[in-house]
Amino acid sequence: MNMGYWGDPHSGWWSWPGKRERRRGMRRMRRGILKFAVLKLLDELPRHGYDLIRAVREKGWGGGAGSVYPLLAALEAAGLVSGRDEGDRRIYELTEQGRRLLGEHAADLERWLKDDDDDEEEMHDMGSQLRDSARRLMQAISQLGPSSKPETIEHVRELLDEARKEIYQALAEE
């Protein structure tokens, strides 16, 4: 499915669940889904930015001011939402164009938000395995010490540099 400017939320890179995504019970949200979640919330009723942040966090999606406010500005620039100043707050509401986009992808959005729960456990297991491998690697490296031969230390450094390069290569090919 082609979503033009907004891209496909299933494509692209998204991080392993870690401390930042896990704090205070927040779930990791796939990159690109937050914009549809905000559109869905605005479809329910007009809201100001802080209200949207609170609603997103209540769902456990973790969007903060640093992601929600720039997203609102981009949605407004794209004509998907309109904003109006009321006192010291800016109230956002969905435009017809935003409703059309949301309607076109409503089924996908429900699936993405539902699948996020299923993927959470799988990604947690993969993330745990990756962290465990990194922990074991650091334990092996910590065995090097002042009594290690310089050529052994140099060989381990070369191995680590090569592993780092291969990891970046794998990420680039993803």
- pLDDT tens for 39-88 read 888 998 999 988 998 888 887 766 777 888 888 999 999 999 999 999 88
Structural domain includes residue 24: yes
Per-residue pLDDT at 167: 87
Reported as a pLDDT band with limits 50, 70 and 90, residue 33 is confident
* Strands 47-48 and 89-94, bridge-based pairing: antiparallel
pLDDT at 30: 53
- Domain membership of residue 90 (yes or no) is yes
**Under a CB-based contact definition with an 8 Å cutoff, are residues 45 and 24 in contact?**
no
Number of domains into which the chain is organized: 1
What CATH number is given to the structural domain containing 15? 1.10.10.10
- Does residue 13 sit in helix, strand or coil? coil
Q: Identify the helix (H) or strand (E) that includes residue 41.
A: helix 33-44
Inside any domain, residue 145:
no
Sheet with strand 47-48: strands edge to edge: 47-48, 89-94, 81-86
User: 15: domain range?
Assistant: 4-116
Mean pLDDT calculated for residue range 101-105? 86
Which tens digit of pLDDT belongs to each residue from 106-129?
777 777 666 555 555 555 577 778
In a domain, 165, yes or no: no
Q: Greater confidence, 3 or 53?
A: 53
What pTM was estimated for this model as a whole? 0.50
Residue 133 within a domain = no
Report the chain's mean pLDDT, rounded to a whole number: 77
- The reply to whether 148 falls in a domain is no
